[in-house]
Amino acid sequence: MATTVHTHEFVTFANPYMRCLRCYVPVPKWHDNSTCGCHDRWWNEPCRHTAGIHSACPSWSPVDGCQCTPNPHHQAT
């Protein structure tokens, strides 16, 4: 009856401009295997690369957000 599909635990970044250093897709969160308890490694979600990340916004702060003028990474919609 009960289908036990393991749901992975993810940690969401406060910075919305995080990108994967390998493929440069936006990475809003990452798989945290230490809290998840699964046997997989950590990865960048959704590309699943075990690669570093960096903020596409050089001026982002948790308080004020993006401070770039003009905003070079603002995406419509």
Q: Which residues bind Zn ion (CB under 5 A)?
A: 8, 20, 22-23, 36, 38, 47, 49, 57, 66, 68
DSSP the chain: ----PPPPPEEE-S-TTEEETTT--B--EEE-HHHH--SSPPEEETT-----EEES-TT-BTTTB---SS-TT----
- Name the residue nearer to Zn ion (CB basis): 1 or 77: 77
**Nearer to Zn ion by C-beta: 1 or 56?**
56
11 vs 22, beta carbon nearer Zn ion: 22
* Residue 4: CB minimum distance to Zn ion, A: 14
